[in-house]
Every structure is written in C-alpha cells, then in structure tokens.
Structure 1
Amino acid sequence: MKPTVVLVPQPQPVERIFRPETLARLHEAFEVVEPAEGELDAALGDAWAIVGQPELPTERLERAPHLRAVLNVEGNFYPNVDYPTCFTRSIRVLGCGPAYAQAVAEHALGLALDLARGISREDRAFRAGRERYLGEGNADAVLLRHADVGLVGYGNIGRALRPLLAAFGARVRAYDPWLPDAVLRDADVEPASLDEVLRRSTFVVVLATVTDDSQHLLGPRELDLLPEGARLVLVSRAAVTDYEALGERVAAGRFLAASDVWPTEPVPADSPFRSMEGLLLSAHRAGGIPAAFLEIGDMVVDDLELLARGLAPVRMQQAAPELVGRYRNRPAG
C-alpha cells in the first residue's frame, strides 16, 4: 500500500505550489487525501505525512499514530505545532524557507542597487517633469563595486546573496550569533559583531529571523551607528527593526533605506512611510514569485520520496529542537 499523504496547503492553492508533473509524481507515489474543511481529524488516522501548516497540538497528533513527517509549505515554523511531541516521536518537521532564498536575495540586491543610484527616485522625478540630467541627479550616488557590505543574519537568504555580491567585489561582513566564525569564513564572509557590521558598512542588509533576542535588534542606538549616507535594506521580518526610530532617521536624511516588510501589513493608508523621502517601499513581495512557489512543490515531493525510501530529507529545512522554540515569526498580513 502507498503511504498516505494528507494535503492541506491552505492558504497556498495546490496549483500555485505544484507543477502538473510534480503533482502527478505525488499522486503516483502516495495515496493523497485532500480533506474538506472540518474533516482533517478524520483523515489523520492513516496519515503518514501532512503537507501544510494546520494546527497540530498534542491531541491532534495523537490521532495520527502513523505520522512520520509534517511538511510546512508556508515558509515559517509557527508555534501552532507541538514540536516536542514531534521530536519525541521522530516525526520530521520540515519547512520550505529555502525555496524563497534566491528570490529574496535577488530582490535585496535590486533594492540595494536602487538605493545606490536613485533609480526609482529619478524615475518618479522624470515622470513629474523634474528630471536632472548627467551629474546633477547623481550627487549622492555610490557604487556597490568594492563596497563594504554588512549582513545581519546569515541563513538561507545570506547564502543565496553572497554569490551575487561576489560579482561586485564587495567586502562582506556578517553578524550571526548562531554560526561559528569558521562557517562565515568558509563562505568568504568576515565574522563581525553587530556594532562593527553597522559602523563599517556602506550597505547593510537585514536578514535575521525573529526571536525574543532579535526583536528590535536594530533600535535607536544601533541605527545611529550607521555611517552618514549608508544604505539599509530590510527584507527579513519587521520586528527585527524599530520602525519608529528608522523613520525618524530616514526623514532626517541620516541614511537611505528600503523595506519589503512592515510592522503592520497592509501598511495603513495614512502611514508617514508612504510619503517619506529616502525610503524605498516594497509590499512584502521579495520572495513570493511564481518560480519560488513552484520550487516548494518540487522540494516537497523530492523529500517525501526520500523519506518513503527510508532516507533523510535533503531539500527542505528541518526544524531543529534547539531553535524552533525560539522563532517568533507570524503570518504576513
């Protein structure tokens, strides 16, 4: 008999994350059950794997005696799963975060280049009849080539961004208290303290996840360490940065910033960020592109096939007992 996979990917539509040929592979190798709303509990008795991010407290896990894997297709390890029970029962809990890494890294690079050269700013000026030709519109332009670049966090996105920065010959420093210095050096990244990353970088890209320790990691003191005219790119989680302090400094012209994430999404219509000069706006769209979504389905089926053969998953990110309880990410929106 084929192992039973319970498919509950909501809010992800099935067709968004599975190519037709990938979905066919899933159905060929597994008995796929897609329970209607309110029928998940009835489907758990035979479940060998769950694809999705439903609430999985202890009592619901107890209804799934054959469960061996939970594959989250949203991207974050939310606190809606009884992780200790999963670990005790050797249930693999996997996340699709790596699927978004390349898309977010490329978007972060694009935001950095825009801040370096004022691309979108000068486009708006041109459309309004205020274009500035030649050097007049470049008074604050800088090069990414051979620049000092600081990364706050060096996880999936940092690893995808590093090769992109290599083409510019940038000197890259990173602060990540969860990694040994040797891991950073092996990637041609200079380990540094947070203060050093902020103080010595022309470009700073914030990639850190949210934990109790990293909420408002970049507060007034830290933001004041940035050099005059620095470029700050925010593409991880808004809770890492004090946005009130950020807005004050951008409005004062201390540095330029770009943000793809916001404390409240959608951003309120009357938010001062919407009209703030020196702030490049992006509506939480760095990772959510079609290629990234389809990569999720490929990763899910690849790892399910490995698990069915008694092998370890290799494509999705595994929840670590030492770390999963520290995350404080919340759904976007």
Structure 2
Amino acid sequence: MAPKVLVSDKLSETAVQVFRDRGVEVDYLPDLGKDKDALLARIGDYDGLAIRSATKVTEKLLAAADRLKVIGRAGIGVDNVDVSAASKKGVIVMNTPFGNSVTTAEHAIAMMFAVARQLPEASASTHDGKWEKNRFMGVELFNKTLGVIGAGNIGSIVCDRALGLHMKVIAYDPYLSEERAKSMGVTKVDLDELLARADFITLHVPLTDKTRNILSAEAISKTKTGVRIINCARGGLVDEKALAEALKSGRVAGAAFDVFEVEPATDSPLFHLPNVVVTPHLGASTSEAQENVAIQVAEQMSDYLLTGAVQNALNMPSVTAEEAAVMGPWLKLAGHLGAFAGQLTDEPIKAINVLYDGNVSHMNLDALNCAAISGIMKATNPDVNLVSAPIIARERGIKIATTRQEKGGVFEGYMKLTVVTGKRERSIAGTVFSDGKPRFIQIKGITIDAEIGAHMLYTTNRDEPGIIGTLGHTLGDAGVNIANFTLGRSAQGGDAIALLYLDEAPNPEVLKQLEATGLFQQVRPLVFDVA
C-alpha cells in the first residue's frame, strides 16, 4: 500500500505534485491546520504530515497519530512542532534549512542598507510631499566592520555578500574553525571583541538556551557607540527593551528587525523609534524561497517514506538514499545484534559500546548506533524505533560509546556490540556476507557462524557429550523443525553455546523440558524481525 501524506498548510501545487509523481498518496487540505479539532480527528489516517507554520503539532495531536512516521516543515523554524514529543513517539521531524538561505541572507543585507541610509523614513517623508534631504544623513557600508554572530549556512552567505561590498567581516561562532574562517575570508573573534569592534552587527543563530538574549543589556553596553544591529534570525536573541533604551540614549545608532520575541508582533519596545526598520518576519518571503522549501520538503518526505533516506532531520542522523541502499543490510545487522543483547539482558543497562571494524567503520555510524540501540530497547518496548530509542537510552542514563578501527580480522567488516550492566558484560558480533545477509559471528567471545531467523533458540552449557542429541530429540518430539544449528565452544570441556534457527517458536513446555535436563545453564527463545 502506498504511503499517505496530509498537507495541512498552504504548499505550492508543484510540491503537492512531487508527492503524486513519486507514488505517494496525498491529501491537500491547506486550511485543516488551522482547525485543531478537525486535524486531530483525521491525523490517524496518515504516514506523513507536511506543514508550514500554521499547523501546531502538539503532544495531543501526536498521541492520535498512530500511523505517523514523518513530519516535514517547509522552512527552517519548527517552533510549532513538539520535537521532543515526536521523538518519543518515534516520528522523524524534518525541516528545509537550505531552501531559503539566500533569501534570508539577502533580506539581512537589505535591512542593513535600509538602516544605514534610513530608507523607510526617507521614503515615507517623500511620499508626504516633503523634501528633507538634509534630515536623512546616512553612513556608507564601504570599509565598515560587520560583526556576524553565527557563521553557519545563512551567516556564511551574509559574510560573502558583505565582502562583496568591501566591508571588513569578523565572525563569532563557537563551531567555526580557523581554517573555515580563512577560506571564507573573515576573521574569527570572540563575542566581546566582536561587540567592541563592529560598526554593524547581524545575528544568524538559532534560538536556544545558550543564544537567548545573546545581545543582553550587558552585551549591548559593550558595543561600539553608534553601532547598528540587524536581526533576521530569531526573536529572543536580543533583549528588545535593553536595545530600545540603547537606541534612545544614542549608544546604538539604528536597528533593523525582521523577528521579535512575540509574534505576530503587534507591539514592541522597538516600534515607533527613529531609525528602527521593522518588517513582519519576511526573511523567507520570496516566491523563489517558498517554492524551493515546499518542493524540498516533498522530496525529503517522499524519499524517507519510499526508500528510508533521511535528510535534514532534527531528531535522527541523516541517511542519503545511496547510504540507505549500501547500509541496509548493516542497519538490519545492528538491529539484530541489539535484539539479541536486549532479549538476554534482564538487569538495568549502564552502557552500550559498539565497535566498528573494516569497511563498516566508514559508514554512517550515528545511524547504525540508532539501529543497535533500537534493537536493544525493543525487548522491553516494542513500539520503540530508530528515532525514539536514543531518547529513551538518554533518559535512562545509559552511556553510549563508539569505536571505529581499520580492518583487524578475517572479515572485510564487522560490528561488535557490548552491553554493560551492574553484574556483567554481554557481547555479540556480526557481519554481512557478500550475499547481503547478516550473520552472527561471535557470542561471549566464542566464534560461530549463524544465519539469523525469525525464531531462534539460544543455549549455554559446559562442553560435554549429549547436548546436540538432547536439543534435537526434545525439539523433534515437540514437532519443532530445526532449520539451522550452530555450535561453538571456548575450549574443549569449557563454555559452549548453541544457536538454533527454528521454523516456529518453541512452546514453553519444550523450554521447561530442556531446563529440566540439568545440562543447560541458560535456555532462551529469541525473536528477530527479518522482514
């Protein structure tokens, strides 16, 4: 059955057609997002939800979304989506951070020009029939110092445009390397130096606990007298009351704001102040940007629903369609390793360690980790998936460690998963053969070669005669067929294991009979999702 997507906000017809052309069933109901009760009644019918800013994806809505796998936001901001609740529900949340980058950067540059030359006031004055040429004395951008707070995708475009205007550009960004700054042609500085040196300051960071009020009253007091401040990123990055006071005192010569602490902004301390340019969150408001983000979100959602490719997800590592094709068997293996460990672990888990060797060590390890953790967590929570599993692990205080190494064994690549509890460590390793089938190759340090089936039986014992006969006889009498039988031991007379691939699940009575023989230390049925 084809996946089904609901578009509950206004999206371009081109984007809606992308879903149809890709074979995704789509309902285009652009006004439904404004009616939360109607949306709540219908959301259970869909695998995907495509939105803009009107639709509010709350915890209550997610609770009713039994089929939902992915939410796509046409745009960068996801303030209208409860990402935490979506993650716990196992729903991927995607946005389109690059579709409106040029548009937003251009708006910031336009706002800088506007506040430098007082263009809105001059326009209004001239429209009123006045000719106040001497009143509107502006400043040049040429040779001025622009301080860019946040040199990511949009910020880097602003830097490039400013350099084209022959401005001196300095940038503050904790994640900006010296090499990257040099290649961009900008100077990396700390925040205090930026505040002290910049003639213009423009912000291009997301709103987080760390960036909220990054331009506080204290920060504004450190700025160069006569600075002009531009914010086309997110409301809440600047203390608007403190900025208004600095504008009134003359410390700040002008400001240009496209975003506000409260939106829609019907009132702000910045309104009606001289040389303050304000626009109603127009950063992404060009026809090109709106079309780009709409098409991009339709393509991303279609890719995920049809191929498993993940792009621009906020709560899961990205996996390209090419990666998904190559990694598919390894993702299955990671899930099987996790499922094995999870079904055998009865105590609280303290840590999960994953070793990647050889060719697999060069793959997308974040995604493989998610698959392994998901496999473990499914033992106690069948509804968990690659999105929600890391959240659950983090909430339980489980430490995740990853090690990669170059080829160190007979296999081209393999994975080894170790689960640590307060009582023991349990490890299992596996690989993917050239036929694309995952195999278990080591359990408890004992080498094996086991095909993985939906129903398996795992036993541990001392290496002694009679084990094979007992297993075969007991299962045969119960009518349980053995598809594959794998044995391994640490040494003659030492620890031994058996892993049986069965055509069906053994009933509890069979397990009790095996335990009653006294030959086995452990008898555990295992279930694997091999679909």
* TM class, shorter-length: 0.7 to 0.9
Partner of 1:55: 57
Displacement after TM superposition at 1:211 (Å): 1.3
The separation in 2 between residues aligned to 1:266 and 1:7, in whole angstroms, is 23
Residues 273 and 298 of structure 1: is their aligned pair in 2 closer, same or farther, counting only changes over 3 Å? same
The 1:130/1:229 distance shift into structure 2, 3 A limit, reads farther
When normalised by structure 1's length, the TM-score is: 0.78
Distance of 1:93 and 1:126 partners within structure 2: 48
Q: Displacement, 1:193? A: 1.2
Q: Which residue of 1 aligns with 2:82?
A: 81
How big is the alpha-carbon RMSD for the aligned residues of Structure 1 and Structure 2?
A: 3.2
Distance verdict in 2 for CA 1:299–1:224, change over 3 Å: same
* Aligned counterpart for 1:26 among listed residues 19, 25, 28: 19
What is the CA-CA distance between 1:247 and the residue it aligns to?
A: 0.7
Equivalent residues of 1:33, 1:43 under 8 A apart:
no
Match of 2:5 in 1: 5
CA contact (8 A) 2:4 2:24 kept: yes
Residues 251 and 278 in structure 1, CA contact (< 8 A), matched pair in contact too: no
Choose which of 285, 288, 292 in structure 1 pairs with 2:285.
288
Cα distance change, pair 45–233 in 1 and its aligned pair in 2 (3 A): closer
Judged with a 3 Å threshold, the aligned counterparts in structure 2 of structure 1 residues 182 and 312 are, in CA distance, closer, same or farther, namely farther
CA distance in 2 between counterparts of 1:250 and 1:2 reads 57
| Corresponding residue for residue 328 of structure 1 | none
Counterpart contact for 1:153–1:176, Cα < 8 Å: yes
C-alpha deviations, 1:89-147, integer Å up to 9, x for none?
4x4321134333222211111111122223333333434555344xx4565x3322232
Q: Do the aligned residues in 1 keep the contact of 2:149 with 2:172 (CA within 8 Å)?
A: yes
Is the deviation greater in 39-48 or in 232-241? 39-48
CA distance in 2, matches of 1:301, 1:227: 45
Structure-1 residue corresponding to 2:258 = 260
TM-score after normalising by structure 2: 0.51
Matching residue of 1:116: 116
Task: Report the equivalent of 2:496.
Answer: none
Compared with structure 1, are the counterparts of its residues 68 and 244 closer, same or farther at alpha carbon in structure 2 (3 Å cutoff)? same
Letter in 2 for 1:51: A
CA distance in 1, matches of 2:218, 2:297: 42
Determine whether 1:166 maps to 2:163.
yes
Is the 8 Å Cα contact of residues 5 and 27 (structure 2) preserved in structure 1? Answer: yes
Q: Does 1:206 align with 2:199?
A: no
The answer to whether the Cα contact below 8 Å between 1:57 and 1:82 also exists between their aligned partners in 2 is no
> Is the partner of 2:194 in helix, strand or coil?
helix
Deviation per CA, 1:48-79: give whole Å up to 9, x if none: 322235435389368535x4422123542337
Displacement, 1:238?
A: 2.4
> Residues 63-142 of structure 1: matches in 2 within 5 Å?
63-65=65-67, 67-73=68-74, 75-78=76-79, 80-81=81-82, 83=84, 86=87, 89=90, 91-128=91-128, 130-133=130-133, 136=134, 139=137, 141-142=138-139
CA drift at 1:199: 1.2
- Matched residue SS, 1:222: helix
RCO greater where, 1 or 2, for CA within 8 Å and sep 6 or more? 1
| Worse-matched range after superposition: 303-312 or 196-205 | 303-312
Question: How far does residue 45 in structure 1 lie from its aligned partner after superposition?
Answer: 5.4
Instruction: Give the one of 174, 182, 194 matched to 1:197.
Output: 194
- Contact 2:70 2:93 survives alignment (8 Å): yes
Q: Which residue of 1 aligns with 2:314?
A: 319
Percent sequence identity over aligned pairs: 20
- Matched positions, count: 308
1:218 deviates by 0.8
Q: Which digits, 9 at most, give the CA deviation of each residue in 1:250-281, with x for residues without a partner?
A: 11222211112233445446x66333112222
Aligned partner (choices 223, 240, 243) of residue 243 of structure 1: 240
Deviation at 1:228, TM superposition (A): 2.1
Within 2, Cα distance between the matches of 1:173 and 1:216? 20
- Structure 1 stretch 38-47 or stretch 285-294: which is displaced more? 38-47
Deviates more, 1:159-168 or 1:291-300: 159-168
Q: CA deviation at 1:240?
A: 1.1
For residue 57 of structure 1, what is the amino acid of its counterpart? E
Q: C-alpha separation between the residues in 2 aligned to 1:282 and 1:44?
A: 34
| Residue-by-residue CA offset, 1:138-192 (whole Å, 9 max, x unaligned) | 65x3322232111112233213323322321222222223444444444333222
* Equivalence for 1:331: none
1:27-47 per-position Cα deviation (integer Å, ceiling 9, x unaligned): 232111457654556655563
Instruction: Pick the structure with greater CA Rg.
Output: 2
Query: 1 or 2, which has the higher strand percentage?
Result: 2
What CA distance in whole angstroms lies between the structure 2 residues aligned with 1:204 and 1:82?
Answer: 31
